[in-house]
Structure 1
Amino acid sequence: MLPLADNIPNRESPRVLWVLILANILAFGLQLSVPGPAAEAFFQEFGLVPARYSNPAWASLHDLNPSDYSPFLLNAFLHGGWFHLLFNMWTLWIFGPNVEDDMGHGRFLVFYVVAALAASYAHYFFNAYSTMPAVGASGAIAGVMAAYLIYFPRARILTLFPVFIIPFFFNVPAYVFILAWFVIQVFSGSLALLQPIGEGGVAWWAHIGGFAAGLLMAPFLRKAPALRMRLQEGGW
């Protein structure tokens, strides 16, 4: 299922959201500039490889510094391909503007970064010995979706449901769309735990960790109602 639009107009320009999208696009451009033979080393260095921190001997063998924790954040700006990037940025654009509206620009930036870190640590905890680099903004975006669920549970999400090659469009309540998405993540993540270490291409537990962080943080980061009203009336 693919979200296409929501029915909640945002009040301010989502400046932080634009910066985050631009940062992801620039990082992807940097990825594309890396020559083919060096691409794997690039992802090993800047993607999140859990074995880098759980197995120092393996890290040393692959010239990775186990005391460098920057990949816990940097991996959230890298992507595995054009479709991965476009899908994540589109989803962020659907759910992000109104969350930034209700948090404010500074709080939204902090929220996004913390959600990205929570997603990375959740992935590490459940895949501690994996040697596969995890990349992508989806864990942080899961946090944004959790905030949207809390702030706008009854918003309507225009959703595309493809059945074979036939597209079906439905207006779905936000709480139905997001909770259904989360159930899929938990189910898939639970199945992934049964697979051999290192197999599987989706960081399900990063999604779950980012979503959980979003649920915990969002209630404390929303602007006071009076402040939101003043912003809406153009007083600030």
Structure 2
Amino acid sequence: MGDCSRCGKKAMTFTCRYCGEKFCSEHRLPENHDCGGLDEEVQKEKEQSKEKWFEEKESKDEQETRTVTASTRRTPGLGESIVNTLKSNYTLSIILVTVIAFFMQYLVPGFSQLLVLDPDLVSILYRPWTLVTVMLLHGGLFHLLANMITFYFFGTPVEKAVGGKELLKMYVGAGIVASLGFVGFRNLLSSIYGPEIAAKTLFGMQFASMDTLGLAVGASGAVVAFVGAVAMLYPEAEVLLYFVIPMKIKTAVYAFGGLEAFNLMAKLLGYSLPVIGNFASSAHLAGLLIGLWYGRKLRDRHRKRTSVFNPLSH
């Protein structure tokens, strides 16, 4: 029992949940006692409802944005995947450019003549770019495949260790040194024998003639540099010398270097050996020496990570 805040009558009272006053049954409803708290409560509920609506709207918008983003995200096509791979893999990019240049030799008139290396000193002075562009040309499909397969297996581990830009610098640098080695040696032969080493017979063996200032093509000097580098970094790796004879890479480098040196000595003595007499041994040895020097630098720099250079793991 209590007094009604509206009429003062004693009766069973009810407490208004908006204003907190006590009222009789007749005045207990907010609209029957002019409740001041009702308007405040209604306004508060409206504001809460409005805030809840905005929160739900923002959540819905975010969900729609995520849905649109997911729907617009696409899987790269074949062409785009190839481009992305080439951007991140300099070894494959060099191989691709070389393969394209190989076909241009046969499809574009004058292409080979523009890029081929002529060891004549006057030609070098007028066409110095050929010290580099000679690496884009090859004497045939087997020559191209031998160089590019070798470069892939030995260039890949080097790129993983030093990065693509450093690999490109080494490839071009070794190629230039190899070209200079070829030019220097051929001009030495020319000063000794003139324009041609004459055909000879020794112990019943026939030795063909050779142009001392003959043209050169190929990236062998640059490629051999990577073989030398990996030999310094991972000397116990097993390889196939000339794709045929299995042996440890350090042994293969000794055998390869010895054979090329023997070929150079034969030419200095005036003999062009069968088969290997056509090899640009001066370029090969120059590239090999650069590779051994570079590999030693890398070995010192990456002494604790030599396992990355295992060419058989790629």
Which residue of the partner structure matches residue 117 of structure 2?
48
**Alpha-carbon distance in 2 for matches of 1:47, 1:94:** 26
- Percent identical: 31
Residue 127 of structure 1 aligns to a residue in which SS? helix
TM alignment of 1:25-36, pairs within 5 A? 25-35=99-109
**Alpha-carbon distance in 2 for matches of 1:228, 1:78:** 35
Which residue of the partner structure matches residue 297 of structure 2?
220
Q: Are residue 154 (structure 1) and residue 231 (structure 2) matched?
A: no
TM alignment of 1:189-228, pairs within 5 A? 189-195=264-270, 200-221=277-298, 224-225=301-302
**Alpha-carbon distance in 2 for matches of 1:119, 1:218:** 16
Deviations 1:29-83 (A, max 9, x none): 1101035xx5xxx4443111111x2xx4xx5xxxxx7332000000011101111
Q: CA deviation at 1:158?
A: 5.0
Q: Tell me: CA distance 1:134–1:18, structure 2 relative to 1, closer, same or farther (3 Å).
A: same
Letter in 2 for 1:19: S
Q: Are residue 83 (structure 1) and residue 165 (structure 2) matched?
A: no
**Alpha-carbon distance in 1 for matches of 2:243, 2:132:** 32
Q: Are residue 15 (structure 1) and residue 69 (structure 2) matched?
A: no
Contact map agreement 2:232 2:299 (CA 8 A) in 1: no
Which residue of the partner structure matches residue 108 of structure 1?
167
**Alpha-carbon distance in 2 for matches of 1:75, 1:191:** 25
Letter in 2 for 1:114: G
Q: CA deviation at 1:90?
A: 1.4
TM-score (ref. length: structure 1) = 0.72
Q: Are residue 133 (structure 1) and residue 238 (structure 2) matched?
A: no
Letter in 2 for 1:109: L
Q: Are residue 182 (structure 1) and residue 257 (structure 2) matched?
A: yes
Q: CA deviation at 1:148?
A: 0.8
Among 224, 229, 252, which residue is 1:142 paired with?
224
Which structure would you say has the larger RCO, counting Cα contacts within 8 Å and 6 or more residues apart?
1
CA RMSD of aligned residues (A): 3.1
- How many equivalent pairs are there? 196
Contact map agreement 2:233 2:298 (CA 8 A) in 1: no
Q: CA deviation at 1:94?
A: 2.3
Deviations 1:90-128 (A, max 9, x none): 111222211222222221111111110010000000002
**Alpha-carbon distance in 1 for matches of 2:125, 2:238:** 45
**Alpha-carbon distance in 2 for matches of 1:187, 1:158:** 20
Letter in 1 for 2:95: I
Larger radius of gyration: 2
Deviations 1:116-168 (A, max 9, x none): 00100000000024432101010001111110111110112256876xxxxxx
**Alpha-carbon distance in 2 for matches of 1:134, 1:93:** 22
**Alpha-carbon distance in 2 for matches of 1:85, 1:161:** 14
**Alpha-carbon distance in 2 for matches of 1:227, 1:106:** 22
Residue 66 of structure 1 aligns to a residue in which SS? helix
Deviations 1:164-219 (A, max 9, x none): xxxxx74x21111222111111111221223379xx52211000011111122233
